[in-house]
Amino acid sequence: METFNNNEHPHRRYNPLTDEWILVSPHRSKRPWQGQNESVSANTLPEYDPECYLCAGNKRSNGVQNENYSDTYVFENDFAALLQEEVRDETPQSDLFQFKPERGINKVICFSPKHNLTLPEMEVEAIQKIIETWKTEYIELGSKDFINYVQIFENKGSVMGCSNPHPHGQIWAQSSLPTQVEKTQKNLKDYYAKHQRSLLKDYIEEELKRKERVVSENEHFVVLVPFWATWPYETLIVSKRHFGNITQMTQAEILAFAEIVKIITVKYDNLFQTSFPYSSGIHQTPTDNKEHPEWHFHMHFYPPLLRSATVKKFMVGYEMMAEAQRDVSPEKSVAILRGLPDVHYKA
């Protein structure tokens, strides 16, 4: 019988945040690729695009004119998925047919007036301003009595469904806990009840001892490929200090967070020397006016690229019908990311 090797033999790994398993099949990374190649845009974007509805001073599709903003700019989404109006529902419910009205607010955050400037090419000070904007919006939206969760996220790149290349993110604030957040909260709460400690605090302390999956760290944050990562180059940013949300960051932590966000996004761009697509999002305490000592601030990055700038990982077949699966081991992914420069390839 062979001795187990996590870079050679199929195995399953447990995700304690979602209480789910993932199948890892590292031997499959050796197979030849004959699947779809994604097109890579060779166009060089201008600093200002008169046709872009997110550029400073331009009119959006609803006729509203953007401010001539100089750093970040926030407005309510013109095509919101959620509406603020309260509605009454008197429809009879049953075990098999349940629904309820959902209220919320959707906002767009332009990161910069420069149409061609993504996070990895921004100065750290500019990323700090974005973080301060996230903080302001979290406070403002979370203070509303019908908002119980504020989801901050970014979809970068057309392959991730982003319809406009202008650097921007979104905030969806709503009355219910979204499904993934609710799963995470349950598991964080169960762990805290059992150990009286933060699950992610214990996790990153063990990861920092092992050094197997750590991409980079500074005084206040660590970025790593989580043990249970699903996407080929998935990473997780976790605060070293246990706190629940962005309002509890010190100024030193805001700077450190900006630095670590720049480091990982630069490494992503450097990986295939392309503007690397991803979906990223912050998970933090709900805004339901309850105590949440179980929550520990963290940020996910889910990039889809697999072998090159044109080869994308698809979640299909087994992944949709059974459970998540990946071919390259997290340990191989982190070795590749860790070895990449922290300076952008265009610099």
List pLDDT tens digits, range 73-91: 999 999 999 999 988 888 8
Interval 266-307: pLDDT, tens: 999 999 999 999 999 999 999 999 999 999 999 999 999 887
b/e map of 81-109 (b: 16 or more CB within 10 Å)?
eeeeeeeeeeeeeeeeeeeeeebbbbbbb
Q: Is position 91 within any domain?
A: no
Helix (H) or strand (E) holding 216: strand 214-217
Catalytic residue among 115, 166, 168, 298: 168
Total tally of structural domains belonging to the chain:
1
| Amino acid residing at 315 | M
Q: Which amino acid is present at 336?
A: I
Whether residue 98 is predicted with pLDDT greater than 70 in this model: the reply is yes
Q: So what's the pLDDT on residue 29?
A: 60
pTM, two decimals, is 0.94
**d(Cα 298, Cα 252) in Å, to the nearest integer?**
17
Q: Is residue 343 in some structural domain? A: no
Name which of 49-53, 96-100, 131-135, 253-257 the model is least confident about: 96-100
Q: Cβ distance 20 to 324 under 8 Å?
A: yes
What's phi and psi for 78, nearest 5 deg? -70, -20
Residue 6 lies in a domain: no
Average pLDDT over residues 28-36: 53
Q: Are strands 324-326 and 20-24 parallel, antiparallel or unpaired?
A: parallel
- Band (pLDDT 50/70/90 cuts) for residue 313 is confident
pLDDT at 316: 87
The reply to whether 3 falls in a domain is no
The answer as to whether 111 is a domain residue is yes
Tell me whether residue 5 is in a domain: no
**CA atoms of 243 and 4, how far apart (whole Å):** 38
What's the rounded mean pLDDT across residues 157-167? Answer: 87
Among this protein's residues, is 283 annotated catalytic? no
- Share of residues in the chain with pLDDT > 70 (%): 95
Burial group, residue 256, by CB count within 10 angstroms (0-12, 13-18, 19+):
buried
CATH number at residue 331: 3.30.428.10
Task: Indicate whether 160 pLDDT > 60.
Answer: yes
Does any domain span residue 34? no
In this prediction, residue 33 carries a pLDDT of 45
In a domain, 347, yes or no: no
Given the structure tokens 């550029």, which residue do they identify?
A: 55
pLDDT of residue 36: 52
Range of the domain at 205: 13-25+45-86+100-338
